[in-house]
Each structure stands twice: as C-alpha cells, then as structure tokens.
Amino acid sequence: MISPKFKNDRSLVYIFLIGILISSLYAIYNINKFEKNEKNGHLMIRGDIDIVWREAYSFKKDLIEKKNLFGNGIFYTRTFLPSKTVALYTFILNQDIYENIDNKTFKEGKKLIYLFFQITIFYLSLLYLYKKLLLYYDSKNVSFFIVAYLALDPNIIQWHGTFWTESIFISMQIFLVGMIINKNKTSLFCLFLGFFLGIIFLQKTVGVLFIFFIIFYVFFTEIKKKSFKILNIFIGFSLILLLLGLDNFKKTGIFYVMPMQTKFAHYTVLVPQIFSEKKDVQAYIELKETEKKWRIDNNFSEKDFDSVYSLRKFQQKKAIEIILENKIITLKIYLKKIINHLILNPFQTYYWHKYNQIEYSNEEFHLSEESKKYFYFKVLYSLIFYIILLIGFIKIKNDKKNYKFHLLLIFLVCYLIFMLGWVGNSRYFVPSLIFLSIFFGHGIDYIKELRYKNL
C-alpha cells in the first residue's frame, strides 16, 4: 500500500512539472509575441521596467569602464537589485542592453533564458518551502496544498513570464517563510537571515520593514540566546544597508538607503487625487506654483543630485502636510484603492503586454470593452479565493501550537496592504498572496476533511 506521504510527493512532482510547463510556455509566448520594439517603445520593457533597464545599462557601462564594483551607474529611483541582475545577465550573455542608446531602442533576443532563470528560482524556492513545511506541520496534506497552490495559481506564476520585479521577489518571500519556520535557528543562521532580509529589501523597497516583524517573532518564539540571535539579524541586515549607503555615497556624495520613489510617490500619485476628490483645482494649481517657485529659489537642476534630492524632500514634506490636512478624504481614497488592490488579476501581465502594442495606443485597457467583460471573471476568481481563505482562517483558529506564526503572517499581509494598497494596483497585492497561501492551504485541507466526513 502506498503511503499518503509518498502519494503527496509524487503528486507534487506532477504539479511542479505542470506549473513549470505553463510558466515556460507563457514565457515563450511573451518573448515570441511581445519581445520587440515598436514606435511607442518596447512592448515588455515599459514604465518601471524601462527605468530598471536604464539603470542596468548605466551600471554595466561604469562597471566595465571603471572595473570597480562600488559607485557605478545612476542613482537608483525605485529598487536597487533588479538592475544589477539585468546587468549581470547581459554581461554573461555578452549582449548589449540597447540596440540604439540615442533613441532608447532595446536589443532584441536572448531574453528567454532570463525568464527561465526566474522560473527555476521560483520552483526551487517552493521545494525548499515544502521540505520545511513537512517538518513544521503535523499534517502532510496542508504542506502539499500550500505548495500546490503556489505552484499553479496563474495570479502568481504569470509574473515569471515578464521582466517585472515581482517574480524574484515572491521567490525570496517563499524562501523567507521557509527560514521563519526553520526549527533550528542558530546564531549563524540568524546572521544569514538578517543578511537575506537585506537582500529582499534590495529587490523590493517595501521589504525594508520585514525585519521588525521577524525580530518580534524570534523574540516570542526562541528560548535560547534570543537576544544574541536578534542582534545577529540586525547585524546581517545592517551590513546590507551599510553597503548600499556607501555605494550611494560614492555616486552622489549623500549617504542614503531609501530610493527616490519613496520621497515623491505620494506627492505625484495621491496628492492629485486628494485635490480631485475635493474638486479644488485652484489649490492644486497653487501647489504647483509653490513647487515652481521653490525650483527657482533653490536654483534647481535635474543634472545635480543634491538639487534633485532636495526637491524630493520638499515634495515629501508637502505631501505629508496635505495628507494630514485632509485625513477623511485621504482615508476615503485609501479604502477605495484597497478594494481595487484586493481584486485578483490572473491575466494582468497578458493584458498589459497586449495593450502596449501600437494598435492599442489610443485605447487604455481599463476603459475598453474587453476590460468590462474581464472584470466579472476577476471578481468571481477573487470570491473563490477569499471563500477558501476564510475557511482556512476558521480551521487554524484553534491551532494554539502555531498561532504565533499565523499571527506573524497576518501582520505581514496587513503591512503590505498598508504600504502598497493606496496605489490600487492588483500587481502590488501579489506579495501578500505568498503569506496568505498558508491559510489557503489550510482551507483546501479543511474542505477535503469536511467532504470525507459527509461521504
């Protein structure tokens, strides 16, 4: 008779193979259809990705010319690590990033391997998590359902076929969950954990405060040498921040670790919405006039980093003032955007690539008829997910043994929603799904238990 564990392991192999196949076919499809330049730009390297690849070009160019690891490239505006990954990839393949740097035409070809690299990292992270879950939970079925969900959910695996930073970030999160539930947290392990938390921050800025949640968890769960372990986590994390700060200092003369985007994102995205909600166009015009006056008074120059840095601090200060003066309106916008944020979007990358094409240049997807039809599918898909999630919460409410871990996951999800929900983009909810997958797996397991009881 085949043991349940063996059955699960064999089934998981098939699930991994299906997930890898789907991810690979989607990556191949994207490369064949969208990996090209059109008059309005490259179909896959657009928006934030374009900034990452521009930073990669600058870093690679300086690295080759200066032969020095620190202080290369332009200052980072969004995330630090993705541009370095792209630069390293193109360096290894001996491929130029741009076909023509003057008109920003990207070199086509040889990008499929990069997507395969993302897929490989993701499924290796799932394998690591599965092994840790088997040791953590008494139920082998729960471990199976958690990893099976992560391996197949199109809302998650769609990102492996794109150049967005989500794929590697969620793989890092999966490794992190596995490290959190590791039962043998030695002092050396905690040092590496802190170091890894720093790497996560370099991949995605939102990960900067993960360390505080992890430290609280270690404090309340570890028995021996907890203070020393926490210190080691801080040391590992601080080492990454120190290296990042020194790299920025060498480039700009200013020691800083948070990218520019964190200083002006609310000013450029949220503040206009506040004035629009108030229907106070005049106040917004006055704000822009104030900024214009600041630029003149301070001799602003886009070519001078100190000048740009000061402007961003000014914009950050103004944004905070306006948000605090309009708390109710800000809260209203926040809540509305969070609802959009929480709606799952399993074909987001496909439609993004599709509507980047020149034939759709005069039409935005969210205003199209196709979007209206797709909306009902998204809502249904989300409802199924949240129902199973709710069932999972019901199942784990009596799990006293692991409640600290489950509480940690809930806090991490709330943190991510607070930090990213105000944008209203489903893409920014994907990292939360990694932590929620634990409850989703419990939900599937509970449904299975109820089904067998009723047979």
What does the pLDDT profile of the chain (455 residues) look like in tens digits? 445 555 678 899 999 999 999 999 999 999 999 999 998 889 999 989 999 999 999 999 988 887 777 888 888 888 999 999 999 999 999 899 999 888 889 999 889 999 999 999 999 999 999 999 999 998 889 999 999 999 999 999 999 999 999 999 999 999 999 999 998 899 999 999 999 999 999 999 999 999 999 999 999 999 889 999 999 999 999 999 999 999 999 988 889 999 888 888 999 999 999 999 999 889 999 999 999 999 999 999 988 889 999 999 999 999 999 999 999 999 999 999 999 999 999 999 999 999 999 888 878 888 888 999 999 999 999 999 999 999 999 999 888 899 999 999 999 999 999 999 999 999 999 999 999 999 999 999 999 988 777 65
Report the half-sphere exposure of 138 (CA within 13 A, side-chain side): 4
Q: How is residue 69 written in tokens?
A: 């690891």
Are 201 and 233 found together in one domain? yes
Are 229 and 202 found together in one domain? yes
Are 265 and 253 found together in one domain? no
What count of other Cβ atoms lies within 10 Å of the Cβ of residue 238? 15
Are 228 and 283 found together in one domain? no
Report the half-sphere exposure of 248 (CA within 13 A, side-chain side): 22
Give CA–CA dist 276/437, Å, rounded: 37
Domain assignment present for residue 26? The answer is: no
Give CA–CA dist 95/107, Å, rounded: 8
Domain assignment present for residue 332? The answer is: no
DSSP SS3 for 280: coil
Contact assessment for residue 175 and residue 121, using Cβ atoms and an 8 Å cutoff: no
Beta carbons within 8 Å of 452's beta carbon, 6+ residues apart: none
Contact assessment for residue 88 and residue 168, using Cβ atoms and an 8 Å cutoff: no
Domain assignment present for residue 378? The answer is: no
Tally of domains within the chain: 2
DSSP SS3 for 162: coil
Are 209 and 237 found together in one domain? yes
Cβ burial of 75 (10 Å; 0-12, 13-18, 19+) is middle
Last residue of a domain, one of 242, 257, 272: 257
DSSP assigned state of 363: -
The pLDDT value given to residue 262:
87
The pLDDT value given to residue 409:
98
Beta carbons within 8 Å of 19's beta carbon, 6+ residues apart: 123, 151, 152, 157
Sign of CA dihedral 318, 321, 325, 330: positive
Please list, residue by residue across 252-285, b when 16 or more beta carbons sit within 10 angstroms of its beta carbon and e when fewer do: beeeebebbbbbbbbbeebbebbbeeeeeeeebe
Sign of CA dihedral 417, 423, 424, 425: negative
Are 224 and 279 found together in one domain? no
The pLDDT value given to residue 40:
83
- Token pair 């090209």 is found at 36
What type of residue sits at position 265? A
What type of residue sits at position 105? T
Kindly list the distances between the CA atom of residue 354 and the CA atoms of 33, 43, 180, 361, 375, in Å, as whole numbers in the listed order.
9, 8, 39, 10, 17
Closest CA to 217 of 382, 378, 404, 357: 404
How would you write 167-197 as a 3-class SS string? HHHHHHHHHHHHHHCCCCCCHHHHHHHHHHH
Contact assessment for residue 59 and residue 73, using Cβ atoms and an 8 Å cutoff: yes
DSSP assigned state of 329: H
Domain assignment present for residue 243? The answer is: yes
- Token pair 């886009």 is found at 302
Domain assignment present for residue 129? The answer is: no
Give CA–CA dist 344/154, Å, rounded: 10
Kindly list the distances between the CA atom of residue 137 and the CA atoms of 133, 141, 173, 183, in Å, as whole numbers in the listed order.
6, 9, 19, 11
Last residue of a domain, one of 200, 226, 257: 257
Give CA–CA dist 246/240, Å, rounded: 10
Domain assignment present for residue 385? The answer is: no
Domain assignment present for residue 61? The answer is: no
Contact assessment for residue 333 and residue 273, using Cβ atoms and an 8 Å cutoff: yes
Q: Tell me the residue range of the domain where 270 lies.
A: 261-325
Contact assessment for residue 344 and residue 155, using Cβ atoms and an 8 Å cutoff: yes
The CA-CA-CA angle for residues 410, 424, 53, to 5°, reads 100
Sign of CA dihedral 379, 382, 388, 394: negative
Are 253 and 306 found together in one domain? no
Closest CA to 316 of 254, 255, 266: 266
Last residue of a domain, one of 210, 227, 257: 257
Domain assignment present for residue 244? The answer is: yes
The pLDDT value given to residue 1:
42
pTM across the whole model: 0.94
The pLDDT value given to residue 454:
66
Sign of CA dihedral 441, 447, 453, 455: negative
